[in-house]
Each structure stands twice: as structure tokens, then as C-alpha cells.
Structure 1
Amino acid sequence: MRSLIVFIGVFVLFAQAQAQSYENNRCRCVCPSISTVTNSSESSHKSRIIRIANVLPNKCNCEGVILPIYEEQLQNKSQEFCPRCECNFEYRNINIIKYVVIIVIWVISTLVIYMAFLIILDPLLNKRNKGSYQEHTNEEDETAAGVGGPMAHNMSVRGNVLNRVGHQQDKWKRQVKEQRRNIYDRHTMLN
């Protein structure tokens, strides 16, 4: 558990260092290929131009984001090119995204630790149940007898829970083994 806390701490510090290079505000412009306006056959593929910049909301347009970069290639055809661009100013909260990712990683880590615990616990339960296995034919008769008084009954109930789980697991394994034998060897189905 301590290593998980250290891992999350290192992840948070790394995320803080990386978050400085990202902004909560951004302008995203999607424009067609420059060859659609220039009518040049140099660039035969019709790929879009996607440009993301950190600018003020009033400068989130083709003139503020796209033209400073592609002005030489457009050759004074910006009046034809800019109406085809779609620019959107977006706001996102990086801290909320970061905390959601940390929580998801924590939940997954907890589930993995729980699964490892169950994998380690399974052989211990099976070993204990193999030696003390007694087939119960009629549970109602045993509870009606009430052997040992109320204190012994409470202790036997606690121990019985593990025995019942082990018994059900063994019963299920026998049924699966028998069903496999019937299907693969005898080619019959169980009723």
C-alpha cells in the first residue's frame, strides 16, 4: 500500500511539471488544405490543417492563428481561404482531468491488489477445506440438534462460513469436471 502512495505522489509531481506546458484555454482552428485555394498541384493530398494555439478569445480566428504561419503559401488569397476555416475557443480544466485520472488509477490499483489478495488466499482456503471436508447430507438435522450450546454455535457458524464456501467451490468443480467428461467423452449433456 505504501508503494501505491509513493507511485501516486510521483505521478502527481510529474503531472504538475507537465501541466505547466498546457493551458486551460486554447483556440482550435480546422482549415482545408492550402492547395484548394492556390490551385497548385504540388500537394496532391487534400489534408486538413489543424492548428491549436494559445491566444486570446478575440484573436481566435483565421487571421490570428492561421495567417501568421501560412501567409507566404497563401500568396494574398487569405480572403478566399479564411471563410473556409472554422475556429473555436475552448476552455477545459486540466486539474479536474488530472484528478479524475488519478482516481481511476487508484481504483484500478486497489482492484489489482484485491485480486492478488484473493489469489493468495485461495490456496489457503482450499488447503484448510480439503482436510476438514465432511459431506453434509441434511443440514436441518444438525442445526436442530444444537450441539455445544450458544457459544459453540457462534464459533461453528464463523468456521462454517469458510467450510460452506469451500464445499460449494468443490461441488462446483466436481460438476464442471463431470460435465466436461460427459460432453467430450460420452457426447451427452447433463439434465
Structure 2
Amino acid sequence: MTVIFIRTLFLVIIFLSVFVTLTTSSLYSDVRCKCICPSTEVVNGSKTERKLYIANVLPKDCTCYGVVLPQAAEDIRSKDKEFCPRCDCRYERRNTTTIRAVVILIIWVISLLVVYMIFLMLLDPFLNKRRAHYEEHHNEVCVDDPITMPLQSPTPTTTVLNRVGQQQDKWKRSVQEQRRHIYDQHTMLN
């Protein structure tokens, strides 16, 4: 059942990443012209603020006349000789394919971590049951008496499960102790 769940989760993640890639590719362009100009009040002499104008034009049209004036109000168009020399226009290229690849990689890493967390959550009851069963069996056997000692050593799987369980218990105790120190005593452990 967990294998089916994990496969379904992977298929959903693949579908979502392809969907996001296809939808974002049509929304953004790799080139743009960015002009930073004074606001309309600056031309009138009252303020010193700046305004940003962005357009998707050819490199030769990346000027105040090609980007700002088509978007500006009529009073700016009439003062273009005074307004345009104060604008700073730059043509920019960006690689959206690289940006998309990095975002998809981050999504995959997060997805794998979530799947790993779900796997550990599903494995936790099995570890606790197996460890409890082994500890009960171990408590029933008297270690000092050679007659009641088990004839076989624990299997490697049981040993690994015990180590994992012991580390998990140690970690849980450490977290509880840290919580107690922080919330009750308001001190941090070193």
C-alpha cells in the first residue's frame, strides 16, 4: 500500500512540476528594457522621486522615446526634451530557463524530503513494535544463567533496528530536555 502511495505522490509531483514549467514559460520574457526616470513632479520642479518604466522592446528601441513616452501622460510627452535626458534606460537579459531549473530542483528536493518523512512516519510503529518485542524477550532471559541464555545472537536486522530505535529514543530524550530547559528554566543547553 505504501508503494502505491509513494508512486502516486511521485506522479503528482511530476505532473505539477511540468504544469508549472509550461504555464510560467508563456508568462515571462527573457529580455526587457528598464528605464528609471524622474516622476512627473520632478519635471515641474516640485519633487525628486524617480519612477520605473519597463517594456519588452528590441535593444535599439530601449530609449526614453521607445519605452517611457508611449506609457507617459500627455504633459510629459510635450516636455520630452527636458524629461528624456534625465532617464536611465538599460536593456536586460535574464535566463528564465536556469531560474526554472533551479526552482524545479528545489521542489524535487523538498518533495523527496517529504516522502522520506512520510516513510519514517510509517516505519516508526514497526520500529517501536519490533524494539518492544525484542526488549520483552531480552527481559525474560536471565543473562547470568547460561542455561537460559539464547543460543543464537540477534539477527543483523534486529541489531540495526535496535540501534535506530536507541538513537531515536536518545534524540527524543534530548529534545525533551531542551524543551524543559528552555520553557521551564529559560536557559539553553550548550
Using structure 1 for the length normalisation, give the TM-score: 0.69
Superposed counterparts of 1:124-163, under 5 Å? 124-133=126-135, 134=138, 156-163=155-162
Q: State the secondary structure of the residue aligned to 1:36.
A: helix
Structure 1 residues 67-105: Cα deviation after superposition (integer angstroms, max 9, x where no partner): 122151215322222222121111112222222211111
Superposed counterparts of 1:154-173, under 5 Å? 156-170=155-169
Is it true that 1:110 corresponds to 2:112 in the alignment? Answer: yes
| Distance change (3 Å), C-alpha of 1:126 and 1:26 | same
Query: Alignment partner for residue 13 of structure 1, among 11, 19, 25?
Result: 19
Q: Name the residue aligned to 2:94.
A: 92
| Distance change (3 Å), C-alpha of 1:169 and 1:23 | closer
What is the Cα-based RMSD across aligned positions, in Å?
3.4
CA distance in 1, matches of 2:28, 2:181: 62
| Distance change (3 Å), C-alpha of 1:32 and 1:176 | closer
Match of 1:160, as an amino acid?
T
Q: Name the residue aligned to 1:144.
A: none
CA distance in 1, matches of 2:97, 2:55: 20
CA distance in 1, matches of 2:123, 2:88: 59
Structure 1 residue runs without a partner (length 5+): 136-146, 186-191
Query: Alignment partner for residue 78 of structure 1, among 70, 77, 80?
Result: 80
Q: Name the residue aligned to 2:29.
A: 23
**Equivalent residues of 1:38, 1:74 under 8 A apart:** no
CA distance in 1, matches of 2:73, 2:176: 74
| Distance change (3 Å), C-alpha of 1:47 and 1:119 | farther
How many aligned positions are there?
166
Structure 2 residue runs without a partner (length 5+): 1-6, 140-149, 185-190
Using structure 2 for the length normalisation, give the TM-score: 0.70
Report the Cα offset of residue 66 of structure 1. Answer: 0.3
Query: Alignment partner for residue 50 of structure 2, among 48, 60, 64?
Result: 48
| Distance change (3 Å), C-alpha of 1:107 and 1:86 | same
Report the Cα offset of residue 182 of structure 1. Answer: 10
Match of 1:130, as an amino acid?
A
Q: State the secondary structure of the residue aligned to 1:109.
A: helix
CA distance in 2, matches of 1:7, 1:182: 40
Q: State the secondary structure of the residue aligned to 2:78.
A: coil
Report the Cα offset of residue 24 of structure 1. Answer: 1.3
CA distance in 2, matches of 1:180, 1:55: 58
Match of 1:28, as an amino acid?
K
Report the Cα offset of residue 3 of structure 1. Answer: 3.5
